[in-house]
Structure 1
């Protein structure tokens, strides 16, 4: 029997889990014995876990709690956490039921419900955006008139920029509302839509670690997003020496305090408007799109390990051991259609840390404007390293240019298009 501490991880089992969260499980398993709750029989996870219970829908609190109790009876579990957005609230409730450390479920609900978060930001004077929660197109029209165009429509309880769209005119609002409403209808904590002030400025995220109420700001992730009206994230970069860190840290800490987050890793999104930070949202978990891996490549700080430590009420080691930079370029097609060719040409230089393809020849790719999302449109990613973020970013662009990528465009009727460009 192992004498290592046991931590319970609740993780999604979608087909890209290994590509985007495999590094997290590997990192945690290097120090802890991992017992896992996931929605499908484990496959790639097997080398990293000691035990597993399959729960088809981990958002089902009763089923999740029963699985957690079963694992706690078989093992001396000292902590539980998740890096999956949809499971934040039920996992916090499970931790409380097992008597394990956790941020309060109510705080996780505030992270998941962006309307609640906006109210808390306003109450605690955290710079944010004007926001109105609506349920109908007519309410959205009135809210947009009050706020003033351009506005952003956003599901109150979703993630990954799904259903988020910028609207510049009343006519565009009428066309865009169903796009946001479809995504909002899938929300667990709320099915409302938010009409929000458009924050015009560069977007960043701030990667934070909170332990017993004290927040350490670890890194800033600079982002490249798609052209309006959508908000697909196209690239991220992390530089250990980023001077922006000290400028955005106070706003990130204030947002975490306002939401009541006491423990865990948080991914705080904001835009710099006139050079000043304005909050977009706080995700009460590790950032997606391999951002935690970029942080480790750039700084040496292991965010998945920190999340596990905090879940087990252990002070995380946040000492930087590197002073470098890393970038990820997320690969999208220029048009919807069938992927007919995909391969990486040329040499594989040492700064090209990894390339991953999540679609393959024969797959249909559908962009958001035609009803798709990041899962139907994204082809994969390339990760690069360099002494500076600018060089890492340019290397990532260079790597993508070497791809042998061909798309057979599909004919799309005007009625199939979504949003203000329809």
Structure 2
């Protein structure tokens, strides 16, 4: 006997970020929440649509977590499995296959999560890929030798990394060896992976963009293209996200073609995707990554929904439980109906935070819908290339992208993080 309403198991979603839970309520989908191990979820303060909390140590004991999901499904069947947490995309695909539920499949998930495989598959499809080398296994020498033939500067990044973790620019072949060792040290400390697999790829000049898409039956609907700044390194800390991006028509069309073709190359036929790319020379799109998930723990839903009018969170969950998007969307780029932005407060240093200035005044600003603070006084911020997390998001709606840009310029002056002075001996 199945449950009366469609039910999705949602893994590792923070309850402080509301969009996916609100989307589930709008879609009429119940949520069984597998919480993040570092977050306490109170039974009397569950987000919308959450009907059950199922604690599982997915990263520490994936086999045990799979077995627990199997037993839960046998006792009370659910209809789908989903995550917005990029490291768990392959686990979700494996769980869906094991239980006979909708999903993208393990092989597709591998291409959407392993940057080495992704670049190989995009290259095989004749899409734009920077020249790259793999650094695999405990001995980095073969990979370093292959990387020596690339044009410098290059960027070193974990093959299974997320956000800005470990992403570092190396300007010379002489600097590359130390950069590889440092990125592997960060991966060992942060991901618990010794001798982590890395990608070394040629640095791409030009601005960076994020593309939010919804795919159903292989039909790719691009909801928004957003500007992400022009980070030059060495550590590529994110700072802004404004959509819709202002682009010449020919460049915008090239982005749409490249992103649409990348879905086919990677085999992503159903669900949401979050793509990050650079415009080399300001005109030619090169994919940096494509995640088979809603990006930014749900922030991408906020941006895409306000720009396109499409309820990305609700539609993604309908697909996750085996349904079809209620909107019946076609292909190509949606016509913008508004503008939205996320100001990603930069760390601006490292050490122990003593004060965060400027956020409280924004909570009553009519342009701001959410101030999401993740780091607080007393928290320790580790220096890059380690990635502690973002101090805060300031998420807002605007009449135009130009207004969002003016607002972000104001925030750059208004928000400041102070760090305690280190005691001297």
- Structure 2-normalised TM-score? 0.86
| Residue in 1 that maps onto 2:33 | 36
Q: Is the 8 A contact 2:150 2:202 kept in 1?
A: yes
| Residue in 1 that maps onto 2:221 | 216
> Are residue 304 (structure 1) and residue 313 (structure 2) matched?
yes
Q: Distance in 1 between matches of 2:423 and 2:230?
A: 26
**How far 1:374 moved relative to its partner?**
4.0
| Residue in 2 that maps onto 1:156 | 159
| Residue in 1 that maps onto 2:149 | 146
Describe the shift of the 1:46–1:288 C-alpha distance in structure 2 as closer, same or farther (beyond 3 A).
Answer: closer
Superposed CA offset, 1:311-359 (max 9, x none): 1222214567971111111112332233222243657331122222222
| Residue in 2 that maps onto 1:174 | 177
Matches of residues 95-134 of structure 1 in structure 2 within 5 Å? Answer: 95-134=96-135
> Are residue 197 (structure 1) and residue 202 (structure 2) matched?
yes
**How far 1:302 moved relative to its partner?**
1.9
| Residue in 1 that maps onto 2:345 | 331
Superposed CA offset, 1:243-266 (max 9, x none): 554331111111111111121111
Q: Is the 8 A contact 2:115 2:159 kept in 1?
A: yes
Deviates more, 1:274-283 or 1:70-79: 70-79
Q: Distance in 1 between matches of 2:263 and 2:422?
A: 45
Q: Distance in 2 between matches of 1:335 and 1:103?
A: 40
Q: Is the 8 A contact 2:21 2:47 kept in 1?
A: no
Q: Distance in 2 between matches of 1:200 and 1:342?
A: 33
**How far 1:189 moved relative to its partner?**
13
Describe the shift of the 1:109–1:303 C-alpha distance in structure 2 as closer, same or farther (beyond 3 A).
Answer: same
Q: Distance in 1 between matches of 2:361 and 2:157?
A: 41
Q: Distance in 2 between matches of 1:27 and 1:234?
A: 26
Q: Secondary structure at the match of 1:272?
A: strand
Unaligned runs of 5+ in 1: 413-422
Q: Is the 8 A contact 2:207 2:230 kept in 1?
A: no
Unaligned runs of 5+ in 2: none
**How far 1:283 moved relative to its partner?**
0.9
Q: How much is the aligned-residue C-alpha RMSD, in angstroms? A: 2.8
Q: Distance in 1 between matches of 2:134 and 2:187?
A: 12
**How far 1:408 moved relative to its partner?**
3.0
Describe the shift of the 1:115–1:101 C-alpha distance in structure 2 as closer, same or farther (beyond 3 A).
Answer: same
Describe the shift of the 1:10–1:90 C-alpha distance in structure 2 as closer, same or farther (beyond 3 A).
Answer: same
Describe the shift of the 1:357–1:37 C-alpha distance in structure 2 as closer, same or farther (beyond 3 A).
Answer: closer
**How far 1:50 moved relative to its partner?**
1.2
Q: Secondary structure at the match of 1:18?
A: coil
> Are residue 12 (structure 1) and residue 24 (structure 2) matched?
no
Q: Is the 8 A contact 1:354 1:383 kept in 2?
A: yes
**How far 1:61 moved relative to its partner?**
3.7
Q: Is the 8 A contact 2:170 2:179 kept in 1?
A: yes
Q: Is the 8 A contact 1:167 1:229 kept in 2?
A: yes
Q: Distance in 2 between matches of 1:182 and 1:189?
A: 8
Q: Is the 8 A contact 2:11 2:83 kept in 1?
A: yes
Q: Secondary structure at the match of 1:77?
A: coil
Q: Distance in 2 between matches of 1:58 and 1:175?
A: 29
Q: Secondary structure at the match of 2:397?
A: strand
| Residue in 2 that maps onto 1:417 | none
**How far 1:294 moved relative to its partner?**
1.5
Q: Distance in 1 between matches of 2:193 and 2:105?
A: 18
**How far 1:55 moved relative to its partner?**
0.7
Q: Is the 8 A contact 2:109 2:292 kept in 1?
A: yes
